[in-house]
Structure 1
Amino acid sequence: MHVITLKLATSLDGRIATAGGESRWITGEAAREAVHRLRAQHDAVLVGVETALADDPELTVRLAGHASAQPARVVLDSRQRLPLTSKLVVTAREVPTYVVATAEPDPALVAAGVLVVQVRAVGEDRPELKTVVQALAAEGLNRLLVEGGGQVAASFLRCELVDAIEWFRAPMLIGGEGRPAVGALAIAALADAPHFRRTEVREVGDDLWERYERG
């Protein structure tokens, strides 16, 4: 059985970056440390390729004294645009790194140690998420931490695949021109909106950490 957790780190008004893309750091050091603890509790950390291209993240657990295995890194990347020079690819032989694509595996990525998983496409050549979850489960990756970006978050929510939300909210406002944490959900009525039950709120430094489970 898979468990999918959506992690959001936003301003008070639910923005993950300015209109120009600046996002480091919206939340403070204590919140970022909590995110690393969350990563350590999951089998894999998943992002979309736009996040991977914009941020060049490592998606690893960086905690003092952490000696356990690192979670796998997963990138939804239909056209396999992840550069060979990215941190994820360069470290693919040290930490399991998956690219979920809709085409035949790119030999260059495979040669670099990346595990390319081919799934069927939907819509505008996007990986079909239920198939993605099944394919990752077949690799032993059942506990997924979805970290971004807004379109990926919206896609998981639209497919009703999100079991829990870990929301870190910083005491700042970015405004409507900022980039939203969750993209379009095509909700016509409030009754159709995804509902979650708040289970906990705590302070982490200057930020709030809100925890939700699917209602």
Structure 2
Amino acid sequence: MPVTLKLATSLDGRIATAAGESRWITGEDSREAVHWLRAEHDAVLVGIETVLADDPELTVRLPGYDGPQPARVVLDSRQRLSPTCKFVRTAREVPTYVVATTEPDPALVAAGVKVLTVRGLGEDRPELKTVVEALAGEGLSRLFVEGGGQVAASFVRCGLVDALEWFRAPILIGGEGRPGLGALAVASLAEAPHFRRVEVREVGLDLWERYARV
């Protein structure tokens, strides 16, 4: 399954201030482009920390858009998803998956959420290659990853990212800000994941850079 990773950062690769303020780093034009990218994929994936912090909808919200909504996927090993969050409340309207390492929570299932139980790694984190395989088994063929820095880094570390959609705002936040990409455990430049830039365009005041894995 092709996996696309979306990053929306400051020039120095930060997605939030040290205090967690992130709305909005990139501009309205960039955010509209992200909605079009969602529409091109079968599923949009985030981690549970993003859902707990932001309670996002992760739907395509564009004037005049009447196409299908991508499925929403949350990596939630211990099924901490709240029954009152937008994901669960609208699970019967938009296909919603929880990827867990424990048996399905009956409350989530009753609300219309489909729980996929996969193999866990340390700290019960889902093994991402198994996650991709499980989603492919659900008939989803194009995955759009919108998670935070740790989820983004996990997909890169596993060699699962085929394309990058990187939106950069013309601001600097500094080293105390929260990084858009977590630790990759790269010991030498030869080990660093390599990507080829395929396009750069201006979107409002931001830059939209598109990359393909080498």
| Structure 1 and Structure 2 fold alike (TM over 0.5) | yes
Aligned residue in 2 for 1:181: 180
Is 1:152–2:136 an aligned residue pair? no
Identity of aligned residues (%): 80
Runs (4+) of structure 1 moved beyond 2 Å? none
Q: d(CA) in 1 for partners of 2:94 and 2:10?
A: 31
SS at match of 2:146: strand
Letter in 2 for 1:117: L
Q: d(CA) in 2 for partners of 1:28 and 1:34?
A: 10
Is 1:64–2:63 an aligned residue pair? yes
CA RMSD of the aligned region, Å?
Answer: 0.5
* Gaps in structure 1 of 5+ consecutive residues: none
- Offset of 1:87 from its aligned partner? 0.6
Aligned residue in 2 for 1:20: 19
Q: d(CA) in 1 for partners of 2:169 and 2:102?
A: 39
- Offset of 1:183 from its aligned partner? 0.4
Q: d(CA) in 1 for partners of 2:29 and 2:117?
A: 37
SS at match of 1:153: helix
Aligned residue in 2 for 1:87: 86
- Offset of 1:148 from its aligned partner? 1.1
SS at match of 1:121: coil
SS at match of 1:5: strand
Q: d(CA) in 1 for partners of 2:210 and 2:49?
A: 26
Letter in 2 for 1:35: V
SS at match of 2:26: coil
Letter in 2 for 1:154: A
Q: d(CA) in 2 for partners of 1:24 and 1:141?
A: 30
- Offset of 1:142 from its aligned partner? 1.3
- Offset of 1:20 from its aligned partner? 1.0
- Offset of 1:123 from its aligned partner? 1.5
Aligned residue in 2 for 1:49: 48
* Gaps in structure 2 of 5+ consecutive residues: none
Q: d(CA) in 2 for partners of 1:141 and 1:172?
A: 36
- Offset of 1:191 from its aligned partner? 0.6
- Offset of 1:210 from its aligned partner? 0.2
Q: d(CA) in 2 for partners of 1:148 and 1:178?
A: 17
Aligned residue in 1 for 2:101: 102
In the alignment of these two chains, the number of paired residues is 214
